[in-house]
Amino acid sequence: MGAQIKPPRGTGPYCYRLHGQVYHRVSPLYASDQHKESYGQLYIFDSSEATEKRLSNNQNGLQHVFEKLDFMLREINPFAQSYLQMHRLVQEHPTTSVKMVFLEDKNLDMWRYNTPTLCTDVAAIFVGDNGEPPAKRDICVYPVGDTCQSISPLNQCCDPMTYPLLFPRGECSWNTGMEHVEERRTEKRTRVTQLQYYACRLSQRNGFSILHNSGKLFQQYIVDAYVKTEGSRLHFLRQNKKDLRIELYRGLLDALECRAHNENIRTGKLIIQPSSFQGSPRHMQQNGPYACDVTSSDT
């Protein structure tokens, strides 16, 4: 996960705050000469060497804590095990193309599309260029590369890959096909929304919860969940302009383009946010009078 962190001023309690764009990326299996090994790239080394590299990146860390976490993740985390399996296949086939695809849908039969050389609980590793993996599996790791690949916030592997300490067993998160249980399902609403999923995740329950006892990481998870949910809603509005009757506002766009042309300014893309989108101008205009009435009646 990458973002511009803006901590609040003063000496008050810590508050995780972001500014600008938030992105999730996955790096190649091997680090380039210009970068240090980090994240998933460390699992191809033995435990002691990986701990030394983590300490060089985090000088204030405790060695015995890093050693215990490394041992735990190697034992139970399927993503860490997948990186190690890919490294072994690259060593066995040094002259052949190798790529690893993390499965977005565990119920997908990978053998219908291509023949993976090796399958783990969350990934399929392909050796050779004969055939292509499924197009919708958008997280693909290559041995080397100069750039990192972005992870879609709609992919259920995004959370466990970003927060391995919160999901040490690699539990997949929300996906677009997640359905309600039978007693909560209705004719109009059969699938769980991203907002409903994170609301369920953040609910407090009896017993110990790693999520609610993770301190600053918990704050980061909450902010990240909000950004992904809000970004998904905005993406839906952009992709469904015609269905939302955005063309009715063509006259407004023409007026903006005319004014921009006169002032030598380039116009952006017109996206009309409906009144159902919380925080939009139309939502504030529609609910503002009701809020004023409630406030005046209480006073």
Q: Quick: pLDDT tens for 142-169.
A: 888 777 788 888 888 899 999 999 999 9
- Is pLDDT above 50 for 112? no
Q: Is 25 helix (H, G, I), strand (E, B) or coil?
A: strand
pLDDT value of residue 121: 73
pLDDT value of residue 180: 87
Q: Give the tokens for residue 94.
A: 């040094």
pLDDT band at 260; cut points 50, 70, 90: confident
Q: Which residues pair with 179 in a beta bridge?
A: 191
DSSP 49: H
pLDDT value of residue 95: 72
pLDDT band at 274; cut points 50, 70, 90: low
pLDDT value of residue 268: 67
How does the average pLDDT of the chain come out, rounded? 80
Most confident range, picked from 7-21, 30-44, 158-172, 239-253: 158-172
- Is pLDDT above 50 for 290? yes
pLDDT value of residue 93: 84
Q: Does residue 155 come out as left (phi exceeding 0), alpha (psi in the -120 to 50 range) or beta?
A: beta
pLDDT tens digits, 28-68: 888 887 788 888 889 989 999 999 999 988 888 899 999 99
The β-bridge relationship of strands 18-23 and 118-119 is unpaired
Instruction: Of 174, 178, 128, give the one whose Cα is nearest residue 152.
Output: 174
pLDDT value of residue 138: 62
pLDDT value of residue 266: 74
Choice among 73-77, 90-94, 146-150, 214-218 with the minimum mean pLDDT: 146-150
Q: Give the tokens for residue 59.
A: 């000088």
Instruction: Of 139, 34, 52, 32, give the one whose Cα is nearest residue 42.
Output: 52
Whole-prediction pTM value?
0.77
